[in-house]
Amino acid sequence: MTLRLYDSAAREVRDFVPLRPGTASVYLCGATVQGVPHIGHVRSGIAFDVLRRWLAYRGLDVLFVRNVTDIDDKILNKAAEAGRPWWEWAATHEREFTRAYDALGVLPPSAEPRATGFITQMVQYMERLIERGHAYAADGNVYFDVRSLPDYGSLSGHRLEDVHQGESAGTGKRDPRDFTLWKATKPGEPSWPTPWGDGRPGWHLECSAMATSLLGAEFDIHCGGMDLIFPHHENEIAQSHGAGDGFARYWLHNGWVTMSGEKMSKSLGNVVAIPAMLERARAVELRYYLGSAHYRSMLEYSDGALAEAAAGYRRIESFVHRVAERVGDVEVGEVNDDFAAALDDDLGVPAALAAVHNAVRDGNTALESGDGGRARQIAAQVRAMTAVLGTDPLDPHWAAEGVDDDAHAALDVLVKAELDRRAQARAAKDWTTADEVRDRLAAAGVEVTDTPDGAQWALKSKEH
């Protein structure tokens, strides 16, 4: 099948045809490193990591750029409130985001440019815009003239008369709807020299400069959260097209993570920070949960939903480990047709997960019937499918989440001794003793599952 993606600019699902055969170029708006990341921040990283993995599985060489906004009003304000240098504040929280992405198995980008590293390219961009009549300098600021571009608002659907940029006040604007490319220097703030005076970049300018510098004047896919459609992505399009660049050919936007129906944000106080989340669930389970909904859907967070997703993942994990223990090593195979059809249809992860669970069900049936070869073949498929989703149970990345081999072996001896006691009690119809053993293991964090081959055990995920 042909990969089809929903293009926010065209407002329809389109066949994906790379600009350059054999290569896919992708730009993802990354973090503004103002604080500790929460699950709303990392959802785009996980959603578009699946896109990247699927493009690579389909045989494309993927150039994946994810930027870091390390200079911004919010960063400056929070650093000042904390009495810390702005650059140290930004670097500290950039490391927090990197740790979060790494913990959740998000592949490192091909390049991860910082805004402060592309000031020269931003100045050149502004020079081009001024020369072409789309921007103007005033009082040390540089603004984009939105009336100069006839199709301004095409991505978001905003009418020009309704536009409100929502940015901090500057002087010299010809029209309040114009947006800032460059901010004149203020006392105590960092600044860089330009032909129009010292200052610092506006938010929108940095992404156009970084994307085109690294991926070229025209590239395949631009990704980001749906909250960025306006003004950020609208303004990226305006300044890029104004400068004469084709820019992104497809626009993909992921939905929010919500709590009680509201977008997760620090201002609402409903933040679930990644370090705290990793105390209540294994990283692979958290990734599975955050990546389980369709990327364009809202994901309503609750502890119950996380627990349900974790249980679903453990069923996949248990099957793959059982096959490996009973039949032998399980290599990564090929995805099945149902999975491929689901991901080719605008990255339909829910349908893809249904294909995974159907395969697990068939594999368990084969294993229980003694058809080890068939079970092993299905387990290889399951590994391939979960690898695309970033949750392959046998990926070494997740091995560190469990206990080490020696400790696991010792624990296995102790737990199996308890399970033997329980089996003997059940055979003697001593249900009280059998239940006591199961309850004692549960209290110790050991989950017992009865199967036709006897009781199986696994460590429970961390919870409150």
pLDDT at residue 14 in the model: 98
Q: Is the pLDDT of residue 403 over 60?
A: no
Residue that wins the pLDDT comparison between 1 and 104? 104
Q: Is the pLDDT of residue 133 over 50?
A: yes
Lowest mean pLDDT among 84-93, 162-171, 305-314: 162-171
416 pLDDT tier (thresholds 50, 70, 90): confident
Q: Is the pLDDT of residue 150 over 70?
A: yes
Q: Which amino acid is at 65?
A: V
Question: What would the mean pLDDT of 7-25 be, rounded to a whole number?
Answer: 97
- 224-248 per-position pLDDT tens digit: 999 999 999 999 999 999 999 999 9
Question: What would the mean pLDDT of 390-402 be, rounded to a whole number?
Answer: 87
Strand partners, 456: 449
Q: Is the pLDDT of residue 442 over 70?
A: yes
3-state secondary structure string across the chain = CCCEEEECCCCEEEECCCCECCEEEEEECCCECCCCCEHHHHHHHHHHHHHHHHHHHCCCEEEEEECEECCCHHHHHHHHHHCCCHHHHHHHHHHHHHHHHHHCCCCCCCECCEHHHHHHHHHHHHHHHHHCCCEEEECCEEEECHHHCCCCCCCCCCCHHHCCCCCCCCCCCCCCCCEEEEEECCCCCCCECCCCCCEEECHHHHHHHHHHHHHCCEEEEEEEEHHHHHHHHHHHHHHHHHCCCCEEEEEEEECCEEECCEECCHHHCCCCEHHHHHHHCCHHHHHHHHCCCCCCCCEECCHHHHHHHHHHHHHHHHHHHHHHHHCCCCCCCCCCHHHHHHHHECCCHHHHHHHHHHHHHHHHHHHHCCCHHHHHHHHHHHHHHHHHCCCCCCCHHHHCCCCCHHHHHHHHHHHHHHHHHHHHHHHCCCHHHHHHHHHHHHHCCEEEEEECCEEEEEECCCCC
- 322-342 per-position pLDDT tens digit: 999 999 999 999 999 999 999
406 pLDDT tier (thresholds 50, 70, 90): very low
Question: What would the mean pLDDT of 71-83 be, rounded to a whole number?
Answer: 95
Q: Is the pLDDT of residue 213 over 60?
A: yes
Residue that wins the pLDDT comparison between 233 and 457? 233
Q: For residue 131, give every residue at least 6 positions away whose Cβ sits within 8 Å of its Cβ, in sequence order, or none.
A: none
Nearest Cα residue to 143 out of 191, 107, 176: 176
- 92-105 per-position pLDDT tens digit: 999 999 999 999 99
Q: Is the pLDDT of residue 461 over 50?
A: no
149 pLDDT tier (thresholds 50, 70, 90): very high
pLDDT at residue 410 in the model: 61
Cβ atoms of residues 322 and 346 within 8 Å: no
Q: Is the pLDDT of residue 275 over 70?
A: yes
pLDDT at residue 267 in the model: 64
Q: Is the pLDDT of residue 464 over 80?
A: no
pLDDT at residue 183 in the model: 96
pLDDT at residue 264 in the model: 77
Tell me the C-alpha distance between 203 and 153, whole Å.
18
pLDDT at residue 400 in the model: 63
- 164-210 per-position pLDDT tens digit: 898 877 789 999 999 999 999 999 999 999 999 999 999 999 999 99
The domain limits of the chain are 4-254, 288-399, 405-459
162 pLDDT tier (thresholds 50, 70, 90): confident
pLDDT at residue 441 in the model: 87
Calculate the alpha carbon distances from 153 to 160, 208, 219, 235, 395 in Å. Answer: 7, 17, 21, 9, 44
pLDDT at residue 332 in the model: 98
Question: What would the mean pLDDT of 334-361 be, rounded to a whole number?
Answer: 98
For a pLDDT cut of 90, what percent of the chain falls above it? 79
Nearest Cα residue to 178 out of 132, 134, 143: 143
Q: Note whether 4-254 and 288-399 share their fold.
A: no
- 118-131 per-position pLDDT tens digit: 999 999 999 999 99
Calculate the alpha carbon distances from 351 to 10, 13, 209, 294, 451 in Å. Answer: 24, 17, 37, 9, 27
463 pLDDT tier (thresholds 50, 70, 90): very low
Nearest Cα residue to 67 out of 183, 208, 201, 274: 208
pTM of the complete model:
0.86
CATH 3.40.50.620 fits 4-254, yes or no: yes
Class of the CATH-defined domain 288-399:
mainly alpha
Q: b/e per residue, 69-102, with b = 16+ CB within 10 A?
A: bbbbbebbebbeeeeeebeebbeebbebbbebbe
Average pLDDT value over all residues in the chain = 92
Calculate the alpha carbon distances from 14 to 11, 20, 326, 339 in Å. Answer: 9, 17, 45, 19
